[in-house]
Amino acid sequence: METLVLSNSKSDIEKAGEIIRHGGLVAFPTETVYGLGANAFDENAVKSIFKAKGRPGDNPLIVHVAKKETIKELVSEIPPKAQALIDAFFPAPLTVIMKKSGKIPESVSAGLDTVGVRMPQNETAAALIAAAGVPIAAPSANKSGRPSPTGAGYVMQDLGGKIDALIDGGACSVGVESTVISMAGDVPVILRPGAVTQEQIEKVIGPVELSKGAFENIAVEKAQSPGMKYKHYAPQAMVVVVKGGRDKFEKFVNSKKNVFALCFEGDNIKIPKVTYGAEGSDESQAKNLFAALRRLDELGAKKVYARSPSGSGVGAAVYNRLIRAAAFRTVDLEKPFLIGLTGQTGAGKAYVGQYLKELGYNIADADYYSKIVIENREILEKLAAAFGSDIIKNGAADRQLLAKRAFSSAENTATLNAIMHPAVLNAAVKGAAFPCVFDAPLLFECGGDRLCEITVCVTADEKTRLSRIMQRDKISAAQAKLRMQAQHSEEFYLKKSDCVVINDGRNIKIQIDNILEERL
């Protein structure tokens, strides 16, 4: 089929309205994104939307109206708070879900007993619905799984030849799809954030919930809106959302090879980049995001680091879309340490730390900080109070005596840890220079893992560890074994860590490279 490309002149809109009335498919501009419209009362026409898009049949469509009066035909009742939203906002980038009436075909609601209704602001969209003389069911006019189209060219790329007509109305002013709010249950729930923000809605109807699925990868069966369970807006590249300020982002990405940055205008980026709007302007980010994702595909990007939107106001909508494009992959550069490095004694942690250092990471060494901290007056006083003032000799701690007392019982060890751990952690955070590795044998015990973006443990088999410890510390096998026994089992580290490096002398650098590639 040839797709007829129409303008938004009055006569073209009339023509498009006729196509809809006769069961055809017309893509049209709205203020959010382009929609792919069909007569909402025509079961067959609606079915052909699913076919053209390759859309799963269990994902319902929004019904678009030109007049508020039409809404009552579509729903069994309009709850008072839903009416308040309609009065306050419509026409708007807002979809209100209510219990459906008998007039809504099964294929529109995808088996649910509700329907989403929206009255678009865009004049061409309103004129088309009026010209069609029927409500228009319309999802975004992209191939299922692709970024929503914010211009007519993108619609042609995805659906050219598969639909009857396209009205070219230029670029969409908002750029992300409407806010979807369910008014069908006891409590209003925002299922999808959009340009009408939670704050604006709450000013009108009081407290509303934001669905957990807006920002998190929730279990499929718990998705309240079927659309939330699909991997949306997915570019071909692996996208990672990077949280943290501009400086850290620049430093982080500028050292990387073979990757793209998805950043804001004016960011000082030395690798290939695509921008999406301006820092601090949620609206400009919303407007440009989908085009930027498509551009990255055109450029053949394989891996993309994206600056994170604000996440509040309209930024919530931008974050919701971007995090899906990233399949929920994030890196938080605001954490003091990018990597927490730990493992049993003799596992070869030092070797891994050395390699990370070569790669440009700064190392915060917990052993170093514990030596500094223990000579601190405040800490010395606490230790003296807990273990006896005779552990202080010439203004410093007598380590052997302290160890003897502190390790004499589990209770004493806990007391020592309660004094030392927060102090060491504090000092390490103060000394951390981005990007930083926290090298800590007691990473989990001291709570340092919570300050790390990822945790990596190094493991090696017992025999290897034994001989390494004997050589390194020049001690007997019996002494080395005692030291090994005093530690947690390998399982403890494996369970708690995000990633593992098996240090058996082979492929260690490759293992580390892979972790950095996949996780950071």
- Chain residues binding ligand TXA by CB under 6 A are 30, 32-33, 35, 59-62, 93, 95, 97, 109, 112, 114-116, 118, 138-140, 177-178, 180, 191-192, 225-227
Residue 140 binds Mg ion (CB under 5 A): yes
Task: Look at residue 179 and give the partner it binds from ligand TXA, Mg ion, none, a contact being a CB closer than 5 to 8 Å depending on partner kind.
Answer: none
Q: Which residue has the tokens 């957990």?
A: 212
Q: How far is the CB of 200 from ligand TXA (least distance, A)?
A: 16
CB of 5 to ligand TXA, least distance (A): 18
CB of 140 or CB of 415, closer to Mg ion: 140
- Closer to ligand TXA at the Cβ: 232 or 405? 232
Of residues 130, 125, 126, the one with CA closest to residue 140:
125
Q: Which two tokens stand for residue 287?
A: 């407007």
Distance CA 132, CA 14 (A): 8
Shortest Å, Cβ 45 to ligand TXA? 15
Work out how close the CB of 36 gets to Mg ion at its nearest, in angstroms, rounded to a whole number: 9
Least Å distance, CB 225 to ligand TXA, is: 3
First-to-final CA distance of the chain? 46
CA distance 392 to 385: 11
Residue type (1 letter), 71: I
Residue with the CB atom nearest ligand TXA in the bound state: 227
Residue span 96-135 as binding mask against Mg ion, x where in contact by CB under 5 A, dash where not: ----------------------------------------
Q: By C-alpha distance, which of 154, 159, 127, 155 is closest to 52?
A: 159
Nearer to ligand TXA, 109 or 308 (CB): 109
Following CA atoms 57, 17, 83, 85 in sequence, which dihedral angle do they give, to the nearest 10 degrees? 80
- What tokens appear for 337 in the block? 């340490």
Q: How far apart are CA 83 and CA 64, in angstroms?
A: 16
Partner interacting with residue 191 (select from ligand TXA, Mg ion, none; CB below 5-8 Å by kind)? ligand TXA
Residue 217 near residue 328, CB atoms below 8 Å: yes
For residue 459, the cross-strand partners are 502
Q: Which residue lies nearer to ligand TXA by CB, 13 or 61?
A: 61
Single-letter residue type at 183: M
Give the nearer residue to ligand TXA in terms of CB position, either 192 or 405. Answer: 192
**Minimal distance, residue 88 CB to ligand TXA, in Å:** 18
| Whole-angstrom distance, CA of residue 424 vs CA of residue 419 | 9
Q: Which is nearer to Mg ion, 8 or 142 (CB)?
A: 142
In the complex, what is the shortest distance from the CB of residue 136 to Mg ion, in angstroms, rounded to a whole number?
Answer: 15
Q: What is the dihedral of CA 321, 325, 328, 329, to 10 degrees?
A: -130
Question: Nearer to ligand TXA by C-beta: 94 or 263?
Answer: 94
114 binds, among ligand TXA, Mg ion, none (CB under 5 to 8 A by kind): ligand TXA
Structure tokens at 352: 């891994």
Does the footprint of Mg ion cover residue 178 (CB under 5 A)? Answer: no
Contact between 355 and 512 (Cβ < 8 Å): yes
**Identity of the residue, 140 or 459, whose beta carbon is nearer to Mg ion in the bound complex:** 140
**Which does residue 287 bind out of Mg ion, ligand TXA, none, counting CB within 5 to 8 angstroms by kind?**
none
Token pair 């970024």 is found at 147
Give the tokens for residue 275. Answer: 């921008």
The least distance separating Mg ion from the CB of residue 206, rounded to whole angstroms, comes to: 29
- Which residue sits closest to Mg ion, CB atoms considered? 140
What does residue 349 show for φ and ψ, rounded to 5 degrees? -60, -40
Residues that bind Mg ion in the complex, under the rule CB under 5 A = 140
